[in-house]
Amino acid sequence: MIHQHLLRRSALLICFLACCSFLTAQTLGESAQTVSFCTLSRQPDKYKNSLVTLRVRVKSFRHGTSISDPSCPKQGIGLIANESAGQTNSVSHFYQFLQERRLSKIPIFAMITGRLVADSDSSFVKRDIVFKLESVSQVSEGDQPGKQ
C-alpha cells in the first residue's frame, strides 16, 4: 500500500516536472528578434506573426494609435494591445501615458515587443496589418535616444 502510494506520488511528480519542462521550452523557444521599424514595414510578410522588438515613435490619435520611425517617413503601422498584454501594468500604464499626452507635440518613443498580424477590424481606421503589442519598455519623450 505504501509502495503504491509512493509510486503514484513519483509518477505525479514526474508528470508535473515534464509539463513544467515543456512549458519552459515553449516560452524560451521563441525569443523576440530585434529589427528596425523600416525593415519591418518594407518586409511585412517576412515578420508576420513573429515575435519582434522595435524602437519606434508612437502617436496616439482619437481613433487609434500608430507606430513609425523618422528614418522612413510616410510609413506607419497601427498599434493594438494584445488582449492578455492589456492586463499587464507596463502596457496599461503605457496606454494611459499616451492618452494623457495625446495632444502634445512632443514625440514619444518606446521599445515595443509584439507581432505583426492581419487586422481584425480592431479600430476605426481599417488597415491590412497591425502591430499587436505584447510588452513595452524604455518609454521616453522628446528626441529619439541613440538608435539601436
Work out whether strand 108-118 and strand 129-141 pair parallel, antiparallel, or are unpaired: antiparallel
Indicate the pTM of the whole model: 0.70
Residues 108-122 as b or e (16 or more Cβ within 10 Å = b)? bbbbbbbbbeebeee
Neighbours of 28 (CB within 10 A): 8
For residue 33, give the nearest of 12, 17, 47, 21 by alpha carbon.
Answer: 47
**pLDDT tens digits along 30-79:** 799 999 999 999 999 999 999 999 999 999 888 789 999 999 988 999 99
- Kindly report the average pLDDT of the chain as a whole number: 76
